[in-house]
A and B are shown apart, each in its own frame.
Chain A
Amino acid sequence: MSSLIDFRTCPTTGLKVDRAAEKLIKANAVAAVVFLAIGGLFGLLVALTRWPAVHFLPADMFYLALTAHGLDVLLVWIIFFEMAVLYFASAILLNSRLAGPKWAWTGFGLMLSGALITNVAVLQGQSSVMFTSYVPMMAEPPFYLGIILFAVGALIGCGVFFGTLVVAKREKTYEGSVPLVTFGALTAAIIAVFTIASGAIILIPTLLWSLGLVSHIDPIIYKTIWWAMGHSSQQINVSAHVAVWYAIAAMVFGAKPLSEKVSRTAFLMYILFLQLASAHHMLVEPGFSSEWKIFNTSYAMYLAVLGSMVHGMTVPGSIEAAQRARGLTKGMFEWLRKAPWGNPAFAGMFMSLVFFGFIGGISGVVMGTEQINLIMHNTLYVPGHFHGTVVAGTTLAFMAITYILVPLIFRRELVLRKLATWQPYVFGIGVAGISVFMMGAGTLGVARRHWDMTFADAILPFDYPSAAFLMMGLNGIFAVMAALGGLMYVVIVVGSVFFGRKLAEDEKPSYPEVPPDSAAVGHYGSSESLKIPGTAFLVGIFFVAFVLYYFVNWKYLSEIWPLS
């Protein structure tokens, strides 16, 4: 069987590369970037409309653009890219053939047609129901049908991933346990299966309802199961981008995980508990007990947060240890100062780590506190939070690894390298600004998914404080910056894929540069002699910020009207 498989050997890593897997990775990555461009453009239109001084789109187009933005970036871009990550982490990293490439192409076809069907439905204007499509607000049937097809396609992709794990083990293409990055991808795939199954369970009846075949969908049950998809899909991202952090640390620094046991157990915490956080969306709904809310919203006593905090130390810790082993031992931060900040893969990855932790992570836990949710639910704080996780965290990490994967998988040299050096900074800082200013506006009460914060057309007047308008103006400016960073990314990737110099079969790419001795530090020290003072200092700062911000919000809560 394996004699029929067409392999090449990667000149950089020495890995055997199944050309069928390679083609699938390319197809999924290209589709991902196309939808990122489309969804990003819609996002820019949304931000320009919410910029009070610009107020770009009319109301109907605003809600249409917002629906398309959510779908295209939150679901389509990210899941397509994750399919590429899954095939990479299974077939390529395990030196194996991909199980059932035909199935994988079927999945890809379903995903692509589903994404197109839903996009067309949204653009026709009768399905501006937001990404969440809460019943009893109804979209046209193709809207639901497209998402269902997309989900089924993604489920097939997950099946191919699991199949490849089985094939690789049976054909003994690797020794012992799977690499940590593959384990992270496995975590993402497991969460994906739960996510997609939940989506199918709720969207199939909803499709029938929009066709008139089912008379009633309960709005709270819909919302509960929908969020088992909607929130968990973002947990796929978290698992996938943490795996990408580890991958970049390994590929750029030759960094070795500080402890396989600790990192894998942290991923296990994700597998078991991360998906419970779907309850973050149900904290101010009628009918749930506080026991259900507290258990689920806290990911079973914050065990999944524990997992994230562990990754937050072990990823930079492994980089620090690798850099110190290379001789960058001066003071606390020589390893970080002399890190390759001009390498977009590293710069993007490190900013993703910092922003995900400080902006997305802390705000998510605070907002997901049962009572504190009262002062944040459905305000702009919510999109502020998830732009910190999904955009500054996941999207930035995926962009970062693209700079490594384009030369390795597409076999093309990167073009526009000067631009590539700047891209993660422009995008990352832009997105960080979006997140922070939306969270600021949300703290001042500004509603999310709202066309006019001046309420000019309302019968009864109401004014938000002027600081909120300032926040939304700043949000607009940083959104333009992020859009520029996104455009730079698309230009660099498309330019490289189509016009980059083709690499010869046995040629190593010249960029991004990898430290020459990176392979030499595969081992360093024992656990007793491990010294990572810089990382310890950084996580110390993170912890203090976390604790202070957490209690500040309890203080805010204590100042609102007493409720019981």
Chain B
Amino acid sequence: MAITPPSERIWWRQPIARIELIWIIIAFTWGLIMFFMMIYWHGAGEQNLSNEAYQIKPQVFAKHAQDMIDEYQVREESGFPVVHPPPGSDVYLIARLWQWWPILELEKDQSYRLHLSSMDWQHGFSLQPVNINVQVHPGYEMVITVRPDRAGEFGVVCNEFCGIGHHMMVGKIYVVE
């Protein structure tokens, strides 16, 4: 029994039943398939998170964002600047208590280098309803190349707990034709 010492002194040499062996081989093979699937997707898949990241001071990141806003702001909405940067450009999104700043307006099927960083605590970039979720840290910026493939209005929810105003932290991204 499992609650008593093994009945044979040398249990390592006991043969393994065929059915167990078959299952071990199946499970091991499946593990290899899942392992190589991740590697395969790096080549063949279109959804891979970039590992491009930098250490950055919050005020430096905020300045990059402000420069972008000054240059490409097209209108204002509920006190948020709406920014329409040119396709292919560097786009900055600030996470801070409790806002995603500014509102971005992107063009469908165009690529942008999206920079994310936090001014204070950790936040969670959760693009909805697409459901892309990325962690945002203070002191680090992450650069992701995104290519929106659908036009519409998208919500940016914060999905890392960031204090009492966490549930008010909603931003917006427009994708236009």
The chain A residues found within 8 Å of chain B, CB to CB, are 13, 59-60, 63, 93, 130, 134, 136-137, 174-181, 218-220, 246-247, 249-251, 254-263, 283-290, 294, 298, 301-303, 305-306, 309-310, 313-314, 317-318, 365, 369-371, 374-379, 443-445, 447-452, 455, 457-462, 464-465, 522-523, 526-528, 530, 532, 536, 539, 543, 546-547, 550, 554, 557-558, 560-564
Contacts of A256 in B (CB 8 A): 1-2, 7
Among A286, A543, A546, the one with the most B-chain Cβ atoms within 10 Å of its Cβ is A286
Q: CA of A179 to CA of B7 in the docked complex: distance in angstroms? A: 10
Contacts of B172 in A (CB 8 A): 460, 462
Q: Can you list 5 A-B pairs with a CB-CB distance of less than 8 A?
A: A283-B49, A306-B24, A369-B38, A464-B128, A561-B132
Q: Does B171 contact A (CB under 8 A)?
A: yes
Whether the pair B138, A136 counts as a contact (CB closer than 8 A) is yes
The smallest C-beta distance from B157 to any residue of chain A, in angstroms, reads 5
Knowing A258-B20, A365-B34, the reply to whether A450 touches B167 (Cβ < 8 A) is yes
Q: Which of B45-73 contact A (CB under 8 A)?
A: 45-51, 53
Complex CA gap A560/B41 in Å reads 14
CB-defined contacts of B18 to chain A, threshold 8 Å: 527-528, 530
Are B144 and A563 touching (Cβ within 8 A)? yes
Closest residue to B127 on the A side, CB-wise? Answer: A561
* Residue of A290, A303, A550 contacting most chain B CB atoms (<10 Å): A290
In B13-60, the 8 Å CB interface with A consists of: 14-20, 23-24, 26-28, 30-32, 34-35, 37-39, 41-42, 45-51, 53
**A262-B16, A294-B35, A560-B130 known; A378 and B139 CB under 8 Å?**
no
Given A60-B164, A371-B48, A460-B172, verify A179-B3 contact (CB < 8 Å).
yes
- Residue-wise, chain B 119-133 has the 8 Å CB interface mask toward A (1 for contact) of 011101011111111
Our pick among B79, B121, B150 for the contact of A459 (Cβ within 8 Å) is B79
Say yes or no: A259-B3 contact (C-beta < 8 A), given A301-B35, A377-B134: no
Report the Cα distance A555→B172, complex, angstroms: 26
A284-B135 CB under 8 A given contacts A460-B80, A462-B157 = yes
- The CA of A62 and the CA of B72, in the complex, are separated in Å by 40
Check A181 against B3 for contact (C-beta < 8 Å): yes
Of the candidates A220, A251, A259, A464, the one whose C-beta lies within 8 Å of that of B20 is: A259
Task: Say whether A130 contacts B161, CB under 8 Å.
Answer: yes
B133 touches A375 (CB 8 A): yes
Give Cα A188 to B159, complex, Å. Answer: 32
Please measure, in the bound complex, the distance between the C-alpha atom of A550 and the C-alpha atom of B137, giving whole angstroms. 30
Q: Which of A60, A246, A284, A528 is the one whose CB lies under 8 Å from B49? A: A284
In the complex, B93 has a CB within 8 A of chain A: no
| B19 touching A536, Cβ below 8 Å | yes
Task: Compute how far the CA of A220 lies from the CA of B54 in the bound complex, rounded to whole angstroms.
Answer: 12
B87 at the interface (CB under 8 A from A): no
Candidate in B19, B47, B172 with the most chain A CB atoms within 10 angstroms? B47
Q: Are A460 and B171 in contact (CB under 8 A)?
A: yes
Of B42, B80, B131, which is in contact with the most chain A CB atoms at under 10 Å from its CB? B131
Distance to closest chain A CB from B99 (angstroms): 8
CB atoms of A539 and B23 under 8 A apart? yes
Known: A175-B5, A445-B129, A462-B128. A563 touches B140 (CB 8 A): no
Contacts of A461 on B, CB cut-off 8 Å? 170
